[in-house]
Structure 1
Amino acid sequence: MTPHNMTWISYPSKNLAFTSPEEIEAFIASQNIISRLMHCYIALFVPTGLTAGICILIIFIKNYLRYKVIENLDLLLLHFTISNIVMIFLSFTVITRPDYLTTTHLACNVLSFFFNLGYFNSQYVLILILLTLLLKRFPPRPALGTATQRPILCVGFVLISAFCLSLTGAVLVGTGNYHLRTDCQLDPLFAWPEYEIVKFTFGFGIPLFLQILCFAVLFAKAAPTEAPALKQHLRTYPAVYIISTTMFACRLFYNVMILLRTNELVMNIAEIALFCESCASLVFILGSHKPCKDEILKVIQKCRRENATNNHLEIPATTAQESGSQ
């Protein structure tokens, strides 16, 4: 694709043409907010999210090696976890904030491609997860039931779709001037205007419509008599519904800012909020999804038993020493 003239878009922090002391004060305050948010994210959310993600991977792999089988829902959550871990690693590009990563157009485009791959992938895997839970409550039609019984094929379809959408985004970022250096965000400023439209439509608009459809069927359609009550169903799978709400809130804010790009401070906040959502989703899965929660409780109980045993052994030993000294 030929280069597109996007020179009218620029970072205000890179064009220090202030006309009044008020503008200087506003710029300094904006830079301080971005810096503090970045440090908070790197210090708190990244370690927590990565720790939760690694624990989820270990638990799922351990359960698979133990039982030689993995449920469809667990397989999809495993895929969702890997996608969010990739997003967290890509979020290290914000370490330079309030400054920006300086790299070539080509390298920035590659980073944007992998970022969008994880972004689209996690969004559509969530749709598959919601559909799986919906089919647990309502008996599926034969064709749909056969498709959902092969989650690996569904995951493969999601990966292919995410790859194609990410490739489209990479093309809309532009292939010209690949050797020139630029200030890089994962959603590059020098992308074509159609980039934002494609990302909003396929990364938020269509997935949101599908999520609303799933929730509408869940709450409005009468379930079979043998199906559990709605409250029980929600309590059985709280992690999925919590991350659905979290993703909607963070990605709505992020996508609106992507379309506008009118405020550098708010755009940085939206980007960091998106990465915080990836970390929070992994924590919610670890703390709310039953196999993960059960494994965590087993580890805690085992540690308590070991501590109790050690304390029980230490007390008689101390008593024996005191008796010998007397």
Structure 2
Amino acid sequence: MASHNMTWLSYPSKSFASTSPEEIEAFIASQNIISRLMHCYIAFFVPMGLISGICILIIFIKNYLQHKTKEQLDLLLLHFTISNIIMIFLSFTVIPRPDYLKATHLACSVLSFFFNFSYFNSQYVLIFILLILLLERFLPRTALSKATQNPVSCVAFVLIYTFCLSLTEAVLVGTDNYHVETECQSDPLFAWPEYEIVKFTFGFGIPAFLQVLSFTVLFAKKAPAEAQDLRQHIRTYAAVFIISITIFICHLFYNVMILFRTTLKLQKSIGTPKNELMMNIAEIVLFSESCANLVFILCFHKPCKDRILEVIHNCRRRNTTHNHLEIPVVSTTPERTPQ
């Protein structure tokens, strides 16, 4: 294992040990790509994600106030939504790109803690959601109600578990030079190699295995005769399955880049501008996935979709009413002629 002294690390774009024409050209090209991706993310994905997230919160709160019932799936999706909204706000750290946010080591560690908390949180809430869907399809309603009758306990367990994981990651960032200013990223470059290994294991390896296992059981196991048809089951919970696939793909790319950066640390190498570019792309893809997840919930989750369609229908009806021209009725009573 490499030494835990990471003071030698620096971004290739900040290292000017070699100034060959090829490296300068690669540096300029990577900076242009990062800048364009950042502007695209801030201009398109962030507004789309925040608007969708606010609409989801309003819909869930209104549904609860009207019906006074707490649906297990809705409560977990509400928790998932809040986690992704926090992730979007944390993603504002990419605004200085192609440069990096300037912060002390301590401030960067705190930022990393909250980033990892949202990251782990959304992953494991999704696992509980998939578990509920599997129970609903393969077990009787009585078993389902016993297993998920208290979704608040599921949320509490996820919060405690993700807090412990995030605290562990904060320790693995390192405690040296906490007052020194540095270039800060959501996953700090100066973190120990164990940081990336733990993050890959608990932030992708275990959740991805559970997701694949859930899909395998869903498609391979024969459901009871009274259970809903598989295609209809997928259509009913389309938002959850689309989110699962999106998270798996985006997190796979992101974690591969994380592991590759770990190999560079172990080899005592700072990498190339291309390596730095790929890590930045992976980070923006991860943040874009949080925005896309909120859009998927708003468009495909039935309570949200029904509420949106209801609003559109009401708007159309109001426009029709306002555009309707009422023709005044003119009295045609004949005038009496004087006798």
TM-score range, shorter chain: over 0.9
Residue 52 in structure 1 maps to residue 52 in structure 2: yes
User: For residues 273-288 of structure 1, what are the structure 2 equivalents within 5 Å?
Assistant: 273-288=285-300
Taking structure 1 as the reference length, the TM-score comes to 0.93
Cα distance change of structure 1 residues 11 and 105 upon mapping to structure 2, 3 Å threshold: same
**Counterpart code for 1:39:** H
Q: Which residue of 1 aligns with 2:210?
A: 210
Aligned length: 316
- Identify which range, 255-264 or 296-305, moves more after superposition: 255-264
Q: Which residue of 1 aligns with 2:158?
A: 158
Residue 296 in structure 1 maps to residue 308 in structure 2: yes
Cα distance change of structure 1 residues 141 and 206 upon mapping to structure 2, 3 Å threshold: farther
Cα distance change of structure 1 residues 235 and 141 upon mapping to structure 2, 3 Å threshold: closer
Q: CA deviation at 1:148?
A: 1.7
Cα distance change of structure 1 residues 31 and 71 upon mapping to structure 2, 3 Å threshold: same
Q: Is the 8 A contact 1:63 1:70 kept in 2?
A: no
**Counterpart code for 1:300:** I
**Counterpart code for 1:266:** M
**Counterpart code for 1:260:** F
CA RMSD of the aligned region, Å? 1.8
Give the distance between the partners of 1:6 and 1:152, measured in 2 at CA: 41
Give deviations 1:60-116, integer Å, cap 9, x for gaps.
Answer: 000000000121000000000000000000000000000000011110000000000
**Counterpart code for 1:93:** T
Q: Is the 8 A contact 1:137 1:223 kept in 2?
A: yes
Task: Please give the secondary structure, in 2, of the residue aligned with 1:6.
Answer: coil
Q: Which residue of 1 aligns with 2:248?
A: 248
Task: Please give the secondary structure, in 2, of the residue aligned with 1:182.
Answer: strand
Q: CA deviation at 1:144?
A: 7.4
Give deviations 1:216-263, integer Å, cap 9, x for gaps.
Answer: 111111101100110010011100000000000100000000111251
Q: Is the 8 A contact 1:147 1:154 kept in 2?
A: no
Q: Of 323, 328, 331, which aligns to 1:311?
A: 323
Taking structure 2 as the reference length, the TM-score comes to 0.90
Give the distance between the partners of 1:176 and 1:27, measured in 2 at CA: 30
**Counterpart code for 1:69:** T
Q: Which residue of 1 aligns with 2:41?
A: 41
Give the distance between the partners of 1:142 and 1:195, measured in 2 at CA: 42
Q: Which residue of 2 aligns with 1:323?
A: none
Q: Which runs of no fewer than 5 residues in structure 2 stay unpaired?
A: 262-270, 331-339
Give the distance between the partners of 1:197 and 1:24, measured in 2 at CA: 32
Q: CA deviation at 1:140?
A: 6.0
Q: Is the 8 A contact 2:91 2:287 kept in 1?
A: yes
Give the distance between the partners of 2:169 and 2:289, measured in 1 at CA: 22
Q: CA deviation at 1:299?
A: 0.4
Q: Is the 8 A contact 1:80 1:126 kept in 2?
A: yes
Q: Of 278, 298, 304, which aligns to 1:266?
A: 278
Cα distance change of structure 1 residues 256 and 316 upon mapping to structure 2, 3 Å threshold: farther
**Counterpart code for 1:298:** E
- Identify which range, 69-78 or 132-141, moves more after superposition: 132-141
Q: Is the 8 A contact 2:132 2:144 kept in 1?
A: no
Q: CA deviation at 1:52?
A: 0.2
Task: Please give the secondary structure, in 1, of the residue aligned with 2:98.
Answer: coil
Q: Is the 8 A contact 1:204 1:255 kept in 2?
A: yes
Give the distance between the partners of 1:249 and 1:223, measured in 2 at CA: 28
**Counterpart code for 1:265:** L
Give the distance between the partners of 1:153 and 1:216, measured in 2 at CA: 27
Give the distance between the partners of 1:127 and 1:244, measured in 2 at CA: 9
Q: CA deviation at 1:143?
A: 7.6
User: For residues 109-120 of structure 1, what are the structure 2 equivalents within 5 Å?
Assistant: 109-120=109-120
**Counterpart code for 2:185:** Q
Q: CA deviation at 1:287?
A: 0.2
User: For residues 1-326 of structure 1, what are the structure 2 equivalents within 5 Å?
Assistant: 4-139=4-139, 146-261=146-261, 262=271, 263-313=275-325, 316=327
Cα distance change of structure 1 residues 97 and 140 upon mapping to structure 2, 3 Å threshold: farther
Q: Which runs of no fewer than 5 residues in structure 1 stay unpaired?
A: 321-326
Larger radius of gyration: 2
